[in-house]
């Protein structure tokens, strides 16, 4: 928790008056038309430079040649099945990335559309795992009938964009008409703790008009939309448009555009126009009609459904809203956009219903109802958004850049390929799956494969019902873990020579907390894996703070996954060996790519069952933060299994796990030998967390067991890694073993964020953090890039591998949060400001709303639109811990775990054996909860 005065950054670093005249701001300051003082800003005529992509050095390429060949072969094999490999560095997008992004549209998990700061609609993410980056801009065709004929009269010199996610403002200060001041406000329903409206695929554009002239002005605003989901979809044919008035093999998508008609605003439509004008108006004819009349014919509302488009033809629609604005008068015009893609179909066959269908049904025509509700509810959404954001925005002690970067990094929860389902399992042959206990079967998803006999001998589920041995706090007999296994039909036979694919149980919680559905988000748009757990560890602070029920839902999915194994074979590309897809007791790397929840561990570079950081990152922080005892009881069997699984990596019986001489953690190109600061520290935190959780849940033997391990391991960790000022990278003898790793205190960050006692003496923690600040931060461009992952003791960047020389954005935010937790406010905000300067400022590289995993000191990015930068919310967590942690007893629960002499003797006599985890997670002793 932050103590003392916060670090003060320069005030008013981006004054709005430098972008929009003060007079214009004052005139627009009604009905939300004026952008806030704290916002990210760009002029519309700003140059959107192309971004520089990462490349490996010659020596790195030579070391990775075998991996590259195997990866290339795997990418081609997946392509032969019509699938995109989860990691494909060989296929490049036709539209080169540029510094042109802006706030995306819509809520979470229903498909997203991004909007560049200059207004273009791009990065279409409607189909799960597929992102069409190119904007739909047919005006690139040079013909008179296309939209290149529209005379915008807009240079952008006096127009500016202001972003404060989930809202954005575009202010036209006298453009295109010098007497008009216009503000377009983009609003999407992203509202913390609102699990209904935050799932809706809709956005609203509110135009505030001010007439500064002496004459009455007729203003007509036009919203046009191409019938497309990006890429070349608008050329595929079979599309149709139709007007309305409200009171390939992928599921269809329906768009609705609308405007709000009032006493002062007249709304008309042109249901169909195109570029060529064959059989309907051309784009030029539509524009000429608007210039002449300022509206379309009212009879168009009776036009009915258009003829389907032919192949290569693009259908567009237009909605016009016209109004008269008196001299020095003001007016508001509201447009709405909604899209309906109710079913989510993954490439290996599973189909689910999106979360919003719980409220709007599964008809594609629900887009009409969605856009209607958006036009009537957007003011309520704005009130809730402002109520959430204002305490931070009005806190004068906080740096200005931090305020808007904190909110704007949340773009990823919309644009990061998020999928939010209604939480129900697939239906087999139109019938509810066994054990699904669902009632609304008419709304279930389906699996598009034939029913076959289920061979479940390769899928093992443990702890389905583990009853406790005594009374709980409420005195009732309950089961500790309540999971039902729902088996889907057998998958088609694999063609990769690694054996047949077996079914995985679809697991759902019985009698659990409120069902908020199931949630997925990608590691990144270039790394197509859902809920990558080692990265989620950093990113999940945002979900836990703003949508805690979603975070607990994800954790339940991983808890379910820990307790079964998938014996299908897969090839690991780093060394060419093979193994089983999912090992029982291991936390999976991810929930899958082409069939999430059923086929996990899409990552196949290394065997992640041997990774050392996945299991230690599991669960406790969320249990401590929410104080949800029901959640704790439900996931406790998985916690036991995950902890016991790690004992096999403590090969000398000293309580501390060892790394195995390959990149067996989230830094998957950075080799580790022996004990490592990163994994070893996380293991210490996990030992303390598991012992504390056991104590709170009443499992005393487990608490004693892992407290003893913690005592042993801590002494070994400090003895082998502490060098007097920081913790060495690892205990090996390689050239980088003494490197200064920015993330060396990840375990201490985990402990402090969870309200646990510090792992080390405070002076050691602050010494290590100060060393990171002085070397990894300030010795790299004076702190203007963030924290480089590795630095040598002589002050040079560690060039051991590509990851050691990179600055990772999310890790930098995590390090900054750790500094705040230990009272180092100046160092923390200075460290994080480097990410703002390099990524978000005008003098930086142009990574706004596409923050990459990392960049090099010369500004070459790797993996745009990445999950981990959400870790900036860990800084806010450090400043304002959740109530459950603040209100927790101030005693050290570890001190209340008393080790019996018998326990100490028994533990000293145990030889460490390399065995599968013990699935009997509970002893026969009484199971009591301590609230």
pLDDT tens-place string over residues 358-367? 999 998 789 9
Residue with tokens 């301590």, as numbered in its chain: 930
pLDDT at 711 over 60: yes
Q: What is the pLDDT of residues 376-404, one digit of tens each?
A: 999 999 999 999 999 999 999 999 999 99
pLDDT, residue 55, reads: 83
Residues 774 and 726: their CA atoms lie apart, in Å, by 12
Residues 250, 293 contacting (CB under 8 angstroms):
no
State both tokens at 861. 């990015």
Assess if residue 64 is contained within a domain. no
* Domain housing 37: 22-45+103-408
Residues 253 and 342: their CA atoms lie apart, in Å, by 8
Assess if residue 465 is contained within a domain. no
Q: What is the pLDDT of residues 101-159, one digit of tens each?
A: 999 999 999 988 989 998 888 878 777 877 676 665 442 333 444 555 676 667 778 89
**Same domain flag for 523 and 404:** no
Assess if residue 67 is contained within a domain. no
Tell which residue, 823, 822, 814, has the closest CA to residue 786: 814
Quote the number of domains for the chain: 2
Residues 708 and 703: their CA atoms lie apart, in Å, by 9
CATH number at 694 reads: 1.50.10.10
**Residue 284 pLDDT grade (very low, low, confident, very high; cuts 50, 70, 90):** confident
Residue with tokens 């890429």, as numbered in its chain: 231
Residues 107 and 357: their CA atoms lie apart, in Å, by 13
Lowest-confidence segment of 58-67, 277-286, 424-433 by average pLDDT = 424-433
Residues 813 and 875: their CA atoms lie apart, in Å, by 7
Residue 319 CA, distance from chain mean position: 33
**Residue 640 pLDDT grade (very low, low, confident, very high; cuts 50, 70, 90):** very high
Count of Cβ atoms closer than 10 Å to residue 237 Cβ:
12
pLDDT, residue 452, reads: 31
Q: Is 816 left (phi over 0), alpha (psi -120 to 50) or beta?
A: alpha
pLDDT at 458 over 50: no
DSSP string, 309-370: PPTT--EEEEEEEEEEE-TT-EEEEEEEEEEE--EEE-TTSBEEEBTTHHHH-S-TTHHHHH
State both tokens at 702. 């487990």
pLDDT at 490 over 50: no
Which has more confidence, 165 or 5?
A: 165
Residues 399, 841 contacting (CB under 8 angstroms):
no
State both tokens at 907. 């533990």
Residues 449 and 503: their CA atoms lie apart, in Å, by 12
pLDDT at 764 over 80: yes
Share of the chain above pLDDT 70, in %: 78
**Residue 57 pLDDT grade (very low, low, confident, very high; cuts 50, 70, 90):** confident
Q: What is the pLDDT of residues 547-567, one digit of tens each?
A: 999 999 999 999 999 998 999
pLDDT, residue 331, reads: 95
pLDDT, residue 227, reads: 65
Sign of CA dihedral 130, 136, 140, 145: positive
Residues 270 and 286: their CA atoms lie apart, in Å, by 8
Q: What is the pLDDT of residues 726-759, one digit of tens each?
A: 999 999 999 999 999 999 999 999 999 999 999 9
**Same domain flag for 267 and 123:** yes
pLDDT, residue 433, reads: 46
Residues 373 and 212: their CA atoms lie apart, in Å, by 33
CATH number at 158 reads: 2.70.98
**Same domain flag for 239 and 110:** yes
pLDDT, residue 663, reads: 96
Task: Please name the residues in contact with 629: beta carbons below 8 A apart, sequence gap of 6 or more.
Answer: 473, 696, 697, 929, 931
Omega of the bond prior to 176 within 30 degrees of 0, cis?
yes
pLDDT, residue 568, reads: 95
Assess if residue 657 is contained within a domain. yes
* Average pLDDT along the chain: 82
Assess if residue 671 is contained within a domain. yes
**Same domain flag for 631 and 779:** yes
Residues 317 and 274: their CA atoms lie apart, in Å, by 8
The whole-number average pLDDT for the span 857-876 is 96
Count of Cβ atoms closer than 10 Å to residue 825 Cβ:
21
pLDDT at 525 over 70: yes
Q: What is the pLDDT of residues 655-703, one digit of tens each?
A: 999 999 999 999 999 999 999 999 999 999 999 999 999 999 999 999 9
pLDDT at 924 over 50: no
pTM of the model: 0.87
The whole-number average pLDDT for the span 258-263 is 92
**Residue 311 pLDDT grade (very low, low, confident, very high; cuts 50, 70, 90):** low
pLDDT at 25 over 80: yes
pLDDT, residue 917, reads: 41
Tell which residue, 440, 412, 361, 403, has the closest CA to residue 190: 412
Assess if residue 424 is contained within a domain. no
**Same domain flag for 402 and 542:** no
**Residue 316 pLDDT grade (very low, low, confident, very high; cuts 50, 70, 90):** confident
The last residue of one of the domains, among 379, 408, 437, is: 408
pLDDT, residue 232, reads: 45
pLDDT at 237 over 50: no
pLDDT, residue 348, reads: 84
Residues 162 and 43: their CA atoms lie apart, in Å, by 9
pLDDT, residue 131, reads: 67
Q: What is the pLDDT of residues 536-548, one digit of tens each?
A: 999 999 999 999 9
The whole-number average pLDDT for the span 591-595 is 94
Residues 133, 122 contacting (CB under 8 angstroms):
yes
Residues 624, 884 contacting (CB under 8 angstroms):
yes
**Same domain flag for 385 and 528:** no
The whole-number average pLDDT for the span 167-187 is 94
Assess if residue 912 is contained within a domain. no
pLDDT at 324 over 60: yes
**Residue 792 pLDDT grade (very low, low, confident, very high; cuts 50, 70, 90):** very high
The last residue of one of the domains, among 885, 901, 925, is: 885
**Same domain flag for 532 and 390:** no
Assess if residue 414 is contained within a domain. no
The tally of CA atoms less than 13 A away on the side-chain side of residue 856 is 16
The whole-number average pLDDT for the span 315-335 is 92
User: Using alpha carbons only, how large is the chain's radius of gyration in Å?
Assistant: 28
Lowest-confidence segment of 39-48, 198-207, 570-579 by average pLDDT = 39-48
pLDDT, residue 909, reads: 57
Lowest-confidence segment of 67-81, 705-719, 851-865, 916-930 by average pLDDT = 916-930
The last residue of one of the domains, among 848, 864, 885, is: 885
State both tokens at 667. 């830094």
Lowest-confidence segment of 131-140, 342-351, 781-790, 805-814 by average pLDDT = 131-140
pLDDT at 646 over 50: yes
């Amino acid at each position: 928790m932050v103590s003392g005065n916060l670090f003060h950054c320069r005030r008013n670093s981006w004054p709005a008056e430098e972008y929009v005249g003060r007079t214009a701001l004052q005139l627009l300051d009604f009905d939300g038309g004026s952008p806030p003082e704290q916002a990210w800003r760009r002029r519309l005529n700003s140059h959107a430079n192309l971004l520089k992509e990462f490349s490996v050095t010659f020596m790195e390429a030579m070391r990775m040649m075998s991996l590259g060949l195997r990866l290339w072969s795997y990418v081609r094999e997946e392509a032969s099945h019509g699938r995109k490999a989860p990691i494909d560095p060989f296929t490049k997008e036709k539209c080169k990335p540029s510094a042109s992004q802006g706030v995306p549209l819509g809520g979470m998990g229903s498909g997203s559309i991004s909007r560049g700061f200059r207004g273009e609609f791009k990065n279409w993410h409607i189909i799960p795992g597929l992102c069409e980056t190119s904007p739909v801009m047919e005006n690139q065709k040079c013909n008179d009938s296309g939209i290149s004929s529209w005379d915008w009269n807009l240079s952008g010199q006096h127009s500016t964009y202001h972003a404060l996610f989930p809202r954005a403002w575009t202010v036209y200060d006298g453009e295109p008409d010098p007497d008009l001041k216009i503000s377009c406000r983009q609003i999407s329903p992203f509202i913390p703790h609102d699990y209904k409206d935050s799932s809706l695929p809709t956005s609203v554009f509110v135009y505030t008009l001010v007439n500064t002239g002496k004459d009455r002005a007729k203003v007509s605003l036009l919203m046009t939309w191409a019938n497309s989901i990006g890429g070349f979809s608008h050329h595929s044919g079979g599309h149709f448009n139709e007007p309305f008035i409200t009171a390939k093999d992928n599921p269809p998508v329906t768009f609705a555009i609308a405007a709000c008609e009032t006493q002062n605003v007249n709304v008309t439509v042109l249901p169909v126009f195109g570029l060529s004008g064959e059989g309907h108006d051309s784009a030029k004819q539509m524009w000429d009609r608007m210039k002449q009349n300022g509206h379309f014919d009212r009879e168009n509302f009776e036009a009915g459904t258009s003829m389907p488009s032919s192949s290569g033809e693009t259908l567009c629609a237009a909605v016009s809203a016209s109004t008269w604005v008196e001299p020095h008068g003001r007016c508001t015009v509201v447009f709405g956009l909604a899209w309906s893609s109710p079913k989510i179909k993954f490439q290996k066959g599973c189909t689910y219903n999106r979360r919003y269908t719980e409220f709007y049904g599964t008809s594609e025509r629900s887009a009409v109802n969605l856009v209607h509700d958006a036009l009537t509810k957007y003011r309520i959404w704005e009130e809730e958004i402002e109520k959430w954001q204002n305490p931070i925005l009005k806190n004068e002690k906080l740096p200005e850049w931090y305020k808007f970067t904190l909110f704007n990094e949340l773009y990823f929860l919309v644009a990061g390929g998020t999928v939010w389902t209604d939480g129900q399992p697939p239906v087999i042959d139109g019938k509810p799956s066994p054990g699904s206990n669902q009632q609304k079967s008419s709304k279930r998803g389906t699996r598009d494969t034939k029913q076959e006999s289920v061979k479940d001998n390769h899928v093992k589920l443990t702890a389905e019902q583990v009853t406790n041995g005594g009374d709980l706090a409420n005195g009732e007999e309950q089961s500790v873990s309540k999971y039902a296994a729902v088996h889907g039909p057998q998958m088609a036979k694999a063609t990769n020579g690694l054996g047949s694919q077996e079914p995985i149980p679809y697991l759902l919680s019985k009698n659990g907390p409120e069902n908020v559905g199931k949630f997925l988000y990608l590691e990144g748009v270039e790394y197509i894996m859902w809920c990558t757990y080692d990265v989620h560890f950093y990113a999940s602070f945002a979900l836990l703070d703003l949508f805690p029920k979603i975070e607990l839902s994800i954790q339940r999915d991983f808890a379910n996954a820990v307790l079964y194994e998938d014996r299908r074979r897969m090839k690991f590309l780093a060394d060419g060996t093979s193994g089983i897809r999912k090992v029982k007791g291991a936390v999976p790397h991810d929930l899958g790519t082409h069939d999430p929840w059923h086929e996990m561990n899409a990552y196949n570079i290394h065997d992640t069952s041997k990774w050392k950081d996945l299991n230690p990152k599991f669960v406790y922080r969320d249990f401590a933060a929410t104080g949800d005892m029901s959640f704790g009881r439900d996931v406790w069997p998985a916690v036991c299994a995950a902890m016991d699984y790690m004992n096999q990596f403590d090969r000398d019986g000293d309580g501390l796990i060892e790394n195995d001489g390959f990149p067996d953690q989230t830094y998957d190109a950075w080799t580790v030998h022996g004990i490592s600061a990163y994994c070893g520290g996380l293991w210490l935190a996990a030992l303390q967390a598991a012992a504390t959780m056991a104590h709170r849940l009443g499992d005393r033997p487990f608490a004693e067991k892992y407290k003893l391990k913690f005592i042993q391991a801590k002494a070994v960790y400090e003895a082998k890694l502490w060098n007097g000022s920081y913790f060495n990278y690892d205990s090996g003898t390689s050239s980088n073993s003494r490197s200064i790793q920015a993330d060396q205190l990840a375990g201490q960050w985990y402990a402090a964020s969870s309200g646990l006692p510090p792992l080390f003496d405070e002076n050691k923690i602050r010494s290590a953090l100060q060393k990171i600040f002085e070397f990894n931060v300030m010795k790299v461009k004076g702190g203007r890039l963030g924290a480089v992952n590795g630095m040598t003791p002589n002050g040079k960047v560690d060039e051991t591998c590509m990851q050691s020389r990179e600055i990772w954005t999310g890790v930098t935010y995590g390090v900054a949060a750790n500094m705040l937790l230990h009272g180092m406010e100046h160092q923390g905000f200075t460290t994080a400001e480097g990410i703002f300067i390099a990524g978000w400022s005008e003098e930086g590289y142009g990574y706004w709303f596409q923050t990459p995993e990392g960049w090099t000191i010369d500004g070459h990015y790797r993996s745009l639109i990445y999950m981990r930068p959400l870790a900036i919310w860990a800084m806010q967590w450090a400043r304002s811990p959740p109530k459950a942690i603040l209100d927790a007893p101030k005693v050290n629960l570890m001190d209340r775990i008393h080790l019996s002499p018998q326990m100490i003797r028994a533990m000293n006599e145990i030889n460490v054996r390399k065995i599968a985890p013990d699935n009997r997670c509970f002893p026969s002793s009484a199971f009591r909860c301590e609230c």
